[in-house]
Structure 1
Amino acid sequence: MKITIDLTKEDYWNMNKFVMFHIPKYRNLLMLTFISLPIIIIAMLRFVLDYSWAYSIIIGILVSALSAFYMIFSIKRKVMRLVKTNAGTVGKHAIELNGEGMYETTEYNNLEYSWKEIEAIKSDKDYIYIFVNSVQAINIPKRAFADDEQEQAFVHQLEQYTHKKIS
């Protein structure tokens, strides 16, 4: 089975967001940061600088919220910069599945993955992610399929070859 997709910068960002918020290793790190930062700020304001509890909590939450937004937008800026410098990240991609493996072809490179190299297959409402390691995935927008039937045939073939269920 062969499909052609046209990846955009937004598709690439959505894949990175998926990794950040759904892959346990990265999600747990983000959660630890989002939980520990307000606690540290509140403790410093209350016990080191001797501010009131109310002031410490309000400032701690505000600073943490601003830090979270800054962190997300900083990551997005880095991802978008990466897209500009790595030719072949966005644009036309041909994905072919056969008994020997999966092939990804772009204007700039040809990649081949044996079925043993596929670590996981994940999905959300807009994408199918085929992970070849913990952070690198082949991002397939569901809009690339003509209809639900073609998408289901692709998923079935992926599951059959990899012996992994999509999650």
Structure 2
Amino acid sequence: MLCGEIMEVTTDIKRNDLIRFNLAILPRMRSTYVTILSIAILVFAFIAWNKGFPQSNNDWFVIIAAAIGGGVGGMFAGVLISFIFILFSSSSSNGILGKHEYKLSSEGLYEVTSSNEGLSKWGGIQEVKVVGPYILFRISGFLFHIIPKRSFSTTEDMHSFVTEALEHWKNAHNKAN
């Protein structure tokens, strides 16, 4: 695990990792709630336009319940479609699934897969944290590198890796401010 000053880990990303990660991150993302609210407002507006503005308490209850149900249902449908897309578009040939080697250095997070390799500099990484059974490196809004906790021999190795990553990340972001 420790190689001089560079920490590294090798993992094997599977389809179920992508689904589990998305399920773990979904409730923590502001965009989830913005989407639900946006769909709910659209449902409310459509019902009010189609049936008229609510006139009684019962009408208000029905239209609000329908709007909330529509928002949650719409979000659920979107997540389901997203999962189907993830399952069909992810493969080891495009570097999403399969073996990933990650190395931490003072420059950034270095990744090697069967189809690509690259460096994400610490200043360009938006977030580093543990979410459920995964360590996440948020590169941009919806682009992540994930490392399952199972990739480490011990919990201590995982904590050392996370601590080192957070230290590099905080140093890069403190310089930027």
TM range (shorter): 0.7 to 0.9
Task: Map Cα deviations across residues 37-67 of structure 1 (whole Å, 9 max, x no partner).
Answer: 553355356427x9x8376667666655543
Gaps of at least 5 residues in structure 2 are 1-6, 172-177
Where does 1:72-87 land on structure 2 (aligned, <5 Å)? 72-84=79-91, 87=94
- 1:8 and 2:14 are equivalent in the alignment: yes
- 1:110 and 2:117 are equivalent in the alignment: yes
**How far apart are residue 32 of structure 1 and its match?**
1.5
Match of 1:154?
A: 161
Instruction: Choose 151-160 or 11-20, whichever is displaced more.
Output: 11-20
Match of 1:163?
A: 170
Please give the alpha-carbon distance, in whole angstroms, between the structure 2 residues aligned to 1:64 and 1:161.
39
| Identity value in percent | 22
Task: Map Cα deviations across residues 120-153 of structure 1 (whole Å, 9 max, x no partner).
Answer: 1122221111112222111111111112100110
Match of 1:136?
A: 143
- 1:126 and 2:126 are equivalent in the alignment: no
Gaps of at least 5 residues in structure 1 are none
**How far apart are residue 20 of structure 1 and its match?**
4.1
What letter matches 1:5 in structure 2? Answer: T
CA gap 1:44/1:93 in 2 versus in 1, 3 angstroms: same
Task: Map Cα deviations across residues 2-22 of structure 1 (whole Å, 9 max, x no partner).
Answer: 101111112223344455432
Please give the alpha-carbon distance, in whole angstroms, between the structure 2 residues aligned to 1:100 and 1:57.
51
* Alignment TM-score, normalising by the size of structure 2: 0.74
Match of 1:40?
A: 45
Q: Give the conservation status (yes or no) of the 8 Å contact 1:93–1:104.
A: yes
CA RMSD, aligned part only?
3.1
Please give the alpha-carbon distance, in whole angstroms, between the structure 2 residues aligned to 1:141 and 1:40.
43
Task: Map Cα deviations across residues 75-99 of structure 1 (whole Å, 9 max, x no partner).
Answer: 2112223314961101110101122
Give the SS at the match of 2:52.
helix
Please give the alpha-carbon distance, in whole angstroms, between the structure 2 residues aligned to 1:61 and 1:116.
39
**Where do 4+ consecutive residues of structure 1 move more than 6 Å?**
none
Please give the alpha-carbon distance, in whole angstroms, between the structure 2 residues aligned to 1:61 and 1:115.
39
What letter matches 1:35 in structure 2? Answer: A
Give the SS at the match of 1:163.
helix
- For this pair of structures, how many residues does the alignment match? 163
Residue among 89, 93, 100 paired with 2:100: 93
